């Protein structure tokens, strides 16, 4: 949209344009305005100022490094240490970190102010269909979810301000808009919508009998899949009860009645037999696990996957020797500055190798690109290339495999 | 569930578990920058609120607080308000943006230019 021959301006949609479901917090005028500021601030940080990091690297940091060491940096960690001393990168990083912290503060203020109402709404929705929410207090929050509060979200996915509340889920849900500047759409479900879209093209006419969504948090990526396959039985698991409580209520209010939310750790899926599911997936979850948990989860996923079934993991692109070290460094920012401590190591893993080790044959594996599917009349297309908000762009790689090969 | 009301204002400010990285050479600069950016955000909120008041007055001539709280911009107004915020952010982030621009071309110190001009 532009007026008077002005150049088109890249502006985030207003927070009031998001779709409200049955457990959405209702923003006051100023709470919405805070998210509007952050959404646009994030756009400026990634789009306008982001390329300055590369400039600082090329013009200042790299020449100094070469002078001091007599060689090029050997990995992304050396680049990070050198860049952390650069004044431009310092102010950019400080801005981005503050933006994330403000997103948490602003989201929590909005949610906690109306927590009584949100809890009551969630409880009413959850009690109306008690069979599709199964919480198990014996499930421990694993160390990889508890070591730090992931993406600077106080209490992470599992924190409670009082027993039985939904504050963690509600805060996570509402703030995705600010973090991604609306890039995930009106329900922050552009990733799930993209999966539903992708499978329809990839395997037209297929209706999976059962789907397992691992690390579902508030279910925003499984609800569009559930709505696309209303006949499919869907199991969505996570270790965090407050997120599941919220996610179940959210799914109910959006009409996704075929998802059962279960508090469970995916490292042990012994409850399910070999070949129980036709589709096993994670979306932006593997980077929030750990070095030993990740292969265990994939092994378990392989075991419960049926012959001809689909395993799919949506993630930001893996680092490879072909990816320039600078790009690896900038993609690593969240690992060290936004409490994603497994991010860096995870993105350097040989995911294909791990999937093969779990049982897949090499020729059964594939990698494909997936872009968020959102209402483009209101919500923006996620930028790629230099202006991309690395680590949170609404563009992913899907690491997948058809067990025993894709059925004809 | 507990009956005692939450002090949501204090709880909203809770620190996330995990040591916070220091970005600047002096830790005090990190604290001051956090205050500054929060203030930058709040000025934006005030400006957006003023925009709401102006739009409602244009439309109705008189307004109530409820009108402000319930205001939802249509598509065009949403874009205009976003553009307003963007322009404001670019203005306050002028320093880093110009620092980035100056990275593109190495400029000599003004003293050098001054010496040069004396001679030509």
**B83 in A contact zone (CB under 8 Å):** yes
**B102 in A contact zone (CB under 8 Å):** no
The answer to the question of residue B20 being in a domain is no
What is residue A382's predicted lDDT score, i.e. its pLDDT? 66
Separation CA A269–CA A92 (nearest Å): 43
DSSP E strand stretches across B1-114: none
The answer to the question of residue A6 being in a domain is no
Q: How far is A57 from chain B (nearest CA, A)?
A: 10
Pairing mode of beta strands A305-315, A395-402? antiparallel
Neighbour tally for A66: CB within 10 Å: 12
Q: DSSP letter at A30?
A: H
What is residue A1's predicted lDDT score, i.e. its pLDDT? 46
A218 and A91 belong to one structural domain = no
The answer to the question of residue A63 being in a domain is yes
**A9 in B contact zone (CB under 8 Å):** yes
**Based on the structure, what is the number of domains in chain A?**
2
Separation CA A102–CA A96 (nearest Å): 10
A242 and A282 belong to one structural domain = yes
Nearest CA in chain A to B4: A162
A229 and A371 belong to one structural domain = yes
Q: Phi/psi at A140 (nearest 5 deg)?
A: -80, 145
**A56 in B contact zone (CB under 8 Å):** yes
Q: How far is B6 from chain A (nearest CA, A)?
A: 8
* Cβ neighbourhood burial of A266 (10 Å; 0-12, 13-18, 19+): buried
**Structure token digits, residue A318:** 């893996």
> How does A81-115 read in b/e, with b if 16+ C-beta sit within 10 Å?
ebbbebebbbbbbbbbbbbbbbbbbbbbbbbbbbb
pTM: 0.94
The answer to the question of residue B2 being in a domain is no
A204 and A298 belong to one structural domain = yes
DSSP E strand stretches across A199-255: 210-214, 233-238
Identify which of A180, A183, A281 has the alpha carbon closest to the alpha carbon of residue A237: A281
Partners of A133 in the β-ladder: A261
The answer to the question of residue B72 being in a domain is yes
- Inter-chain touch A94–B33, beta carbons under 8 Å: yes
* Cβ neighbourhood burial of A365 (10 Å; 0-12, 13-18, 19+): middle
Separation CA A298–CA A149 (nearest Å): 24
A160 and A234 belong to one structural domain = no
A267 and A351 belong to one structural domain = yes
Residue ranges of alpha helices (H) inside A25-114 are: 29-43, 50-56, 62-69, 76-83, 87-113
Partners of A395 in the β-ladder: A371
* pLDDT level of residue B55 (50, 70, 90 thresholds): very high
**A245 in B contact zone (CB under 8 Å):** no
Q: How far is B24 from chain A (nearest CA, A)?
A: 6
Separation CA A395–CA A375 (nearest Å): 15
What is residue B3's predicted lDDT score, i.e. its pLDDT? 55
pLDDT tens digit at each of 408 positions of chain A: 445 566 677 899 999 999 999 999 999 999 999 999 999 999 999 999 999 999 999 999 999 999 999 999 999 999 999 999 999 999 999 999 999 999 999 999 999 999 999 999 999 999 999 999 999 999 999 999 999 999 999 999 999 999 999 999 999 999 999 999 999 999 999 999 999 999 999 999 999 999 999 999 999 999 999 999 999 999 999 999 999 999 999 999 999 999 999 999 999 999 999 999 999 999 999 999 999 999 999 999 999 999 999 999 999 999 999 999 999 999 999 999 999 999 999 999 999 999 999 999 999 999 998 888 887 777 766 677 777 777 677 788 999 999 999 998
A223 and A314 belong to one structural domain = yes
Using DSSP, state whether A260 is helix, strand or coil.
Answer: strand
H or E element at residue B114: helix B110-119
A233 and A105 belong to one structural domain = no
A242 and A333 belong to one structural domain = yes
| Contacts A–B by Cβ distance under 8 A | 171
* Cβ neighbourhood burial of B14 (10 Å; 0-12, 13-18, 19+): middle
Place of tokens 């930028």: A383
The answer to the question of residue B106 being in a domain is no
**Structure token digits, residue A375:** 């209402």
**A70 in B contact zone (CB under 8 Å):** no
Q: DSSP letter at A375?
A: -
Nearest CA in chain A to B89: A41
The answer to the question of residue A408 being in a domain is no
CATH number of the domain bearing residue A293: 3.40.50.150
- Inter-chain touch A119–B75, beta carbons under 8 Å: no
Alpha-carbon Rg of chain B, whole angstroms?
23
Nearest CA in chain B to A55: B103
Partner residue opposite B73 with nearest CB, options A16, A28, A104: A16
The answer to the question of residue B54 being in a domain is yes
Nearest CA in chain B to A168: B12
The answer to the question of residue A269 being in a domain is yes
> Which residues in chain A have Cβ-Cβ distances shorter than 8 Å to B45?
30, 33-34, 37
**A30 in B contact zone (CB under 8 Å):** yes
* Secondary-structure percent of chain A, ordered helix, strand, coil, rounded to 5: 50, 10, 40
Q: How far is A378 from chain B (nearest CA, A)?
A: 7
Domain span including residue A68: 20-129+153-173
Pairing mode of beta strands A277-283, A259-263? unpaired
| Interface subset of B 54-73, CB within 8 angstroms of A | 68-69, 71-73
The answer to the question of residue B47 being in a domain is yes
- Inter-chain touch B75–A109, beta carbons under 8 Å: no
A199 and A58 belong to one structural domain = no
The answer to the question of residue A10 being in a domain is no
A259 and A390 belong to one structural domain = yes
**B96 in A contact zone (CB under 8 Å):** yes
The answer to the question of residue A69 being in a domain is yes
Separation CA A209–CA A229 (nearest Å): 9
Domain span including residue B32: 25-94
Neighbour tally for A147: CB within 10 Å: 15
**B94 in A contact zone (CB under 8 Å):** no
| ipTM, interface predicted TM-score of the complex | 0.91
A200 and A274 belong to one structural domain = yes
Partner residue opposite A40 with nearest CB, options B75, B82, B97: B82
**B32 in A contact zone (CB under 8 Å):** no
Q: DSSP letter at A1?
A: -
* Cβ neighbourhood burial of A176 (10 Å; 0-12, 13-18, 19+): buried
The answer to the question of residue A393 being in a domain is yes
**B45 in A contact zone (CB under 8 Å):** yes
First and final C-alpha spacing in chain A: 45
- Inter-chain touch B97–A48, beta carbons under 8 Å: yes
What is residue A4's predicted lDDT score, i.e. its pLDDT? 56
């Amino acid at each position: 949209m532009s007026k008077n021959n002005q150049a088109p301006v890249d502006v985030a949609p207003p927070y009031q344009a998001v779709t409200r479901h049955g457990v959405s917090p209702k923003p006051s005028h100023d709470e919405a305005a805070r998210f509007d500021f952050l959404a646009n601030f994030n756009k400026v940080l990634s789009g306008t100022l982001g390329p300055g990091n590369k400039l600082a690297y090329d013009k200042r940091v790299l020449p100094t490094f070469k002078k001091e060491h007599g060689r090029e940096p050997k990995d992304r960690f050396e680049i990070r240490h050198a860049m952390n001393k650069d004044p431009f990168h310092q102010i950019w990083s400080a801005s981005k970190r503050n933006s994330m912290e403000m997103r948490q503060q602003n989201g929590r203020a909005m949610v906690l102010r109306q927590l009584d109402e949100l809890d009551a709404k969630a409880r009413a929705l959850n009690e109306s269909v008690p069979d599709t929410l199964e919480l198990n207090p014996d499930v421990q929050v694993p160390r990889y979810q508890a070591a730090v509060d992931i993406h600077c979200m106080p209490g992470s996915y599992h924190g409670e301000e009082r027993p039985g509340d939904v504050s963690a889920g509600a805060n996570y849900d509402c703030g995705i808009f600010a973090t991604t500047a609306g890039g995930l759409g009106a329900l922050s479900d552009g990733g799930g919508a993209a999966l539903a879209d992708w499978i329809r093209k990839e395997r037209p006419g297929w209706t999976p009998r059962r789907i397992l969504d691992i690390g579902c948090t508030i279910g925003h990526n499984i609800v569009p899949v559930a709505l696309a396959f209303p006949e499919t039985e869907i199991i969505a698991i996570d270790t965090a009860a407050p997120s599941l409580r919220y996610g179940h209520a959210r799914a109910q209010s959006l009409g996704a009645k075929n998802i059962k939310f279960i508090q469970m750790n995916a490292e042990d899926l012994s409850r399910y037999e070999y070949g129980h599911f036709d589709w096993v997936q994670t979306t932006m979850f593997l980077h929030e696990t750990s070095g030993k948990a990740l292969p265990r989860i994939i092994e378990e996923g392989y075991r419960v996957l049926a012959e001809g079934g689909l395993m799919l993991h949506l993630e930001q692109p893996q680092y490879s020797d072909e990816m320039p070290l600078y790009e690896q460094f900038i993609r690593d920012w969240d690992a060290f500055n936004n409490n994603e401590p497994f991010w860096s190591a995870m993105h350097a893993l040989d995911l294909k190798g791990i999937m093969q080790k779990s049982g897949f044959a090499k020729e059964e594996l594939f990698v494909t690109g997936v872009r968020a599917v959102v209402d483009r009349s209101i919500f923006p297309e996620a930028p790629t290339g230099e202006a991309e908000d690395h680590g949170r762009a609404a563009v992913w790689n899907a690491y997948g495999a058809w067990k025993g090969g894709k059925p004809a | 569930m507990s009956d005692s009301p939450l002090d949501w204002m204090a709880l909203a400010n809770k620190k996330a578990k995990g040591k916070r990285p220091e970005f600047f050479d002096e830790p005090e600069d990190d604290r001051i920058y956090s205050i500054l950016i929060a203030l930058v955000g709040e000025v934006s909120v005030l400006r957006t609120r003023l925009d709401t008041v102006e739009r409602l007055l244009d439309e109705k001539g008189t307004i109530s607080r409820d009108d402000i709280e319930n205001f939802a911009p249509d598509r065009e107004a949403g874009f205009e308000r976003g553009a307003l915020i963007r322009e404001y952010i670019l203005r306050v982030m002028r320093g880093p943006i110009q620092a980035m621009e100056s990275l593109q071309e190495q400029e000599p110190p003004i003293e050098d230019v001054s010496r040069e001009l004396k001679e030509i």
